[in-house]
Amino acid sequence: MTVLDDIIVGVKEDMEARRRLVSPVELKDRVAAAAPARDAWAALGGPSATREDLKVIAEIKRRSPSKGDLAPIEDPASLAAQYEDGGASVISVLTEQRRFGGSLADLDAVRATVNIPLLRKDFTVDEYQIWEARAHGADLILLIVAALSDAQLADYSALSRELGMNVLVETHTEQEIERAVAANARIIGVNVRNLKTLDVDRSLFASLAGLIPAEAVIVAESGVRSADDVSHYAASGANAILVGEALVSDATPRERINEFKAAGAAAIAVRN
């Protein structure tokens, strides 16, 4: 069993426990009463002709399977406010509990505090989680190609759009990019971390980003340690970066986001 397989087993068990407490009918009622989703596609640059800088998806992340504990984050709303002040375009909130220490309560707290779009970062394997995401204020969800069939990828993307949300479709291989493109993904991430082994290969991004249509927003995921890493991703075609560890472990996340954005803008100027 791979690391990804093991995570999904736990995700399904925890989801079923929540389903026993909140029925799908109740979730749909909550969605019907919720404010409309914010436009994460526009926040991340929208049409290719309008993209002039590097966008940052800043993540609320307490721990990870590869690194263990990263930061206690007793007040995720306060950290999210710092991210927003620092110029993040989207805030990612990890809601997986067992490996990452997240929860839907974190998503609620952040939603009540910031005005920019939110990504519910989790391992989506059931439509119930998509309704959950919207009910708790998410504007964007993550779909991991390696964890889904083509039918699930299409169905979950369609449901997300129906609920007004955008989808970040995560890939790690050339074949997965082909599947994401076939599913008409508009926001495509290249995760340089192999979720089956947790190994990181930063060079992977440059080899795969060129396979993604220019119309898509291209997101570099994982492996951001410094401004040099950001420059590398931006020079290789990234329109946005998703970064968690480097921000949650920094005492001045506002300044770090500014540093990353400046490094990305400089690299994009050279690239263009």
Q: How far apart are CA 84 and CA 114, in angstroms?
A: 7
Residues with a catalytic annotation lie at: 59, 61, 121, 170, 191, 221-222
Output 201-206 pairs: Cβ under 8 A, ≥24 positions apart.
202/229, 202/232, 204/172, 205/232, 205/233, 205/236, 205/237, 205/238, 206/232, 206/236, 206/237
Angle at 50 between CA 45 and CA 56, to 5 degrees: 30
Cβ atoms of residues 172 and 190 within 8 Å: yes
Task: Quote helix, strand, coil % in the chain, to nearest 5.
Answer: 45, 15, 35
